[in-house]
Structure 1
Amino acid sequence: MAEEIWVSEVGSNSQLFDKPGIREKFFGHEWAPPKFEHGAPTEEQANNYRRHAQGEKLKREEFVEAAYVFDPKRWSSVKDFFAIAGFYAVKGKLAELLKGFDLGDGELVEFPIFEMDKTTRLSGPFYFVNFGSQKDCFVPSESQRVNLLARNKKTGQELWSGPIELKDGEIAVSASARVGADLWVDPKLSSVIFMSAPLHDAIEAAKLKIDFRFARARIVPD
């Protein structure tokens, strides 16, 4: 059987990101206050988060510089996949697993997390997922329950959204998606991550206790 492609809506799994007990420091800025409520991001920060979500490769200084734990109880329950200021991050078994796969132009970017004193570094290591790899593989006309959110009049670039709680076969991708990186983003489809069958199978076999909200994509001829 030809290799499958999987779609993950892990970014919509709010339980993974709900009050993890850490706050951040951006390059050139002060530490964020030790509270769960976040202020509005700067225009630059919001733009970098948008680019990250669309799979663009960011420079190190465009990510958060560092983080610190202000609520150890909350932090102790954080899984191997989490987020800081909207940027996806990994640690532990998941981080080691990803190192064994083809991330294409993407990479794992190590960053420090400190204890409450902002000086004592936790053992980690911790990494941002710098996607970097984009594939033009999503086929809206062959997909189900998808909606056009926007179309750039100048470039023709479209942005689509998929349904919450994806089902197998609802997202169609071109067969060329099987070529290249094991983890990628299609900037035409918001809030989802694509991955190869080997990476999906490895994540499932690792029993990470993380609901990635996987759905099998339907592959159509190029």
Structure 2
Amino acid sequence: MDMALGWVSGKGDRIFASDILLLLEVQNNNLFEFQSIFEKGERVTNKLGLWYSRVMSDSALIKPFTSEQALNDLQAAGAVDEKNMAGIVQSREAFPDVIFGTYPNKKLKAQPDIFFGSCGLVVSRAVADVLHEAELGKTRLYPLSVCQHDRVTLVGGEYYLLALGEQKAAFVPERSNRVVPFGNVPDTWIKRGRKPEDFDFVVRDIALEGVDLWVDPRLRRSLFLSDRLVKSLRAAKVTRRFGLSKCEVVPT
């Protein structure tokens, strides 16, 4: 049984699972299960685990691509991008079929496994293959031609637009580190600084259920992943640019 348990004391100190778990052998099937030692404090269940990805706030992943939609109506294209990053479902017609290099004299190479085009997040075939096996709910993967400035010559590789369509409101800002209120927008927070450390972000255990990839409406430009999805991405060796950090999971 792949389960980890931990506690947060009444003073807010984190007590790690390695300090407080007893491992018991289950004789019939050679599996193991954990028996916790209950002390004063609030129980925290990490279960399969949850992960935060900082891809939406990583400026190094913004690549010099544009699209016909962006050239014809930049404001409308920006609105599509904002909705996509918020995990709001949109029709296929809202997104481009082709993106191409912004600058005529710049030859573009094959792109990383995940990056920002002119329409939101774009993923490689290797990442898409993993995502196709995951529980995505209303999130969709649309084939996308990624071209040089001439709009015809492909940069190399096969890519998909990641049209996000799932939200889970589970983020706990008052118990998280490295976040600040997002301007005057009610009940909305934003990451401060670089990649969070493990357990900087706290989410409620309701996020353990349902889809494997989602946005939290309380944390702007957020992307969260289930542990099973992270394990699959790691097995495919495509997590390097995801900027992953593990979340602390607390009871609802």
Supply the distance in 1 between the matched residues of 2:53 and 2:76 (Cα, whole angstroms): 27
- Equivalent residue for 2:33? none
More contact order relative to length (CA 8 Å, sep ≥ 6): 1
Q: Residue 26 of structure 1 corresponds to which residue in structure 2?
A: 69
**Which range is displaced more, 124-133 or 172-181?**
124-133
How far did 1:71 drift? 6.4
Which segment drifts farther, 164-173 or 117-126? 117-126
Provide the rounded CA distance (Å) in 2 between the counterparts of 1:85 and 1:118.
Answer: 14
In the alignment, residue 168 of structure 1 is paired with which amino acid?
A: D
- TM-score normalized with structure 2 length: 0.72
Give the match's secondary structure for 2:108: helix
Residue of structure 2 in register with 1:47 after alignment: 79
Q: In the alignment, which residue of structure 1 is the partner of 2:237? A: 207
Question: CA RMSD for the aligned pairs?
Answer: 2.5
Partner residue in 1 for 2:205? 175
In 1, the alpha carbon distance for the partners of 2:234 and 2:166 equals 22
Give ranges in structure 2 of 5+ residues lacking alignment.
4-46
Q: Tell me by how many angstroms 1:149 deviates.
A: 1.2
Q: Is the 8 A contact 2:54 2:242 kept in 1?
A: yes
| Structure 2 residue 47 is matched with structure 1 residue 9 | no
Residue 130 of structure 1, CA deviation: 1.0
Cα distance in 2 between the residues matched to 1:106 and 1:119: 28
**In the comparison of the two structures, how many residue pairs are matched?**
204
Deviation at 1:147, TM superposition (A): 0.9
Aligned to 2:34: none
Q: Aligned in 2, Cα 1:7/1:219: closer, same or farther, shift over 3 Å? A: same
Runs of 5+ in structure 1 lacking a partner? 31-40
Q: C-alpha deviations, 1:82-132, integer Å up to 9, x for none?
A: 222251111221111111101111111223334554346678643211110
Shift of 1:197: 0.1
TM-score after normalising by structure 1: 0.80
Structure 1 residue 201, shift from structure 2 partner: 1.5
Q: What whole-Å deviation, never above 9, does each CA across 1:35-54 have from its counterpart, x for those lacking one?
A: xxxxxx63322222111111
Task: Determine which of 130, 140, 145 is the counterpart of 1:107.
Answer: 140
> Any conservation in 1 of the 2:63–2:115 contact (CA below 8 Å)?
no
- Aligned residue runs from structure 1 range 114-133, under 5 A: 114=147, 116-119=149-152, 125-133=158-166
The 8 Å contact of residues 173 and 220 in structure 1, kept in 2 or not, is answered as yes
Shift of 1:162: 1.9
